[in-house]
Amino acid sequence: MYKTFFSLVFKRMDAERAHHLAFRWIRLAVRVPVLRTFVAAVFAPRYKELRTEALGLRMHGPFGLAAGFDKNAVAIDGMAMLGFDHVEIGTVTGEPQPGNPKKRLFRLVEDRALINRMGFNNDGSLAVAARLASRRPVFKTVVGVNIGKTKVVPEAEAVADYVKSAERLAPYADYLVVNVSSPNTPGLRDLQAVGHLRPLLSAVREAADRAVPARRVPLLVKIAPDLADEDVDAVADLAVELGLDGIIATNTTIAREGLGLTSDPAVVQETGGLSGAPLKARSLEVLRRLYARVGDRITLVGVGGVETAEDAWQRILAGATLVQGYSAFIYQGPFYARDLHKGLAARLRQSPYATLADAVGADVRNPA
């Protein structure tokens, strides 16, 4: 039914306008007590066997919403209502910014992919922190906060910009993510180089500890799929060295060649980060490499091309304790998380593993 609706309505609309319309419906539904209870019962059934512990947190399951969908922390309960076990908001920058000029979001329907050059459009860390502080949760869910660099801030002042966001947002974050891998902020990906990344992560860690002395806020870094293998290894080694809590692999890609894209070439060549199904293979490859390097010492989060329960299961076997999705939600609609949970529970029951934790990294530890 959703696929028909998508074809008849959303597909004919500008992608960003369709996003805001769907977003509005979700936010409206969660405000109505009887309706939200019914929607959650349909779309968010729970499976005891999928209960997950990660980053010192307990979750209903391993599957969450990746950053980018709820940039301003306005629909956390709505996404939990639709079955996501954790919701990562953002990317939030130190200062509010409008993002890049429109048109800046494009669908590659034939490839089940998106291209975005949104440019971290968001209300800024002060406003988002106030929103999180005043939030009264309807559904219990884990909330991650993804922070990035304000566009007008020069690279030399990037650390201070991240620190400002961390100090404001860490008190309301179940975990904090340093995003240095979006292709849509000039110079941002340069911060993935270990020489830049070490002082940045150290400063954010210290800022989070100052802001929240009563507990340790888990800190993760999100990396690009376009890193060379040796750079992936370097980030993994740095994460272990600094005592980082996790790595999210991966963000969107700037690559177009070798992905088998069949959509309109004019759309394919739009600048920005590509996400969705074409990212699946490289994202999984990076995840395997990370797990081979770090093992169980830090938590890995697999994201990029996760469309089905099988995709999520492959991420877990490759080393991911948590899995995230976003682009597939646009194409599959409100049944996305429900179907993925159902299929994942079935795969676990059919596997030789007693728990999901037992399955994490099994393919890397015991290659066929």
CB 268 within 8 A of CB 259: no
- For the question of residue 182 being annotated catalytic, the response is yes
CB 232 within 8 A of CB 181: no
Q: What is the pLDDT of residues 319-355, one digit of tens each?
A: 999 999 999 999 999 999 999 999 999 999 999 999 9
- pTM, rounded to two decimals: 0.96
Q: What is the pLDDT of residues 250-285, one digit of tens each?
A: 999 999 999 999 999 999 999 999 999 999 999 999
Euclidean distance between CA atoms 76 and 30, whole angstroms: 10
Q: Where are the alpha helices (DSSP H) in 212-335?
A: 229-242, 265-268, 280-294, 309-317, 327-332
Q: Is 275 annotated as a binding residue?
A: no
Q: What is the pLDDT of residues 83-128, one digit of tens each?
A: 999 999 999 999 999 999 999 999 999 999 999 999 999 999 999 9
Euclidean distance between CA atoms 368 and 362, whole angstroms: 10
- Taken as a whole, the chain contains a residue count of 368
Integer angstrom CA distances of residue 367 from 288, 306, 318, 348: 11, 22, 10, 19
Q: Is 91 annotated as a binding residue?
A: yes
Among 182, 263, 283, 351, which one carries the catalytic annotation?
A: 182
Peptide bond preceding 150: is omega within 30 degrees of 0, i.e. cis? no
Euclidean distance between CA atoms 42 and 5, whole angstroms: 19
Q: What is the pLDDT of residues 170-181, one digit of tens each?
A: 999 999 999 998
CATH number assigned to the domain with residue range 2-365, chosen from the 4 options 3.30.1180.20, 3.20.20.70, 3.40.50.2000, 1.10.287.610: 3.20.20.70
Tokens of 214: 């009563």
Domain boundaries, the chain: 2-365
Q: Is 5 annotated as a binding residue?
A: no
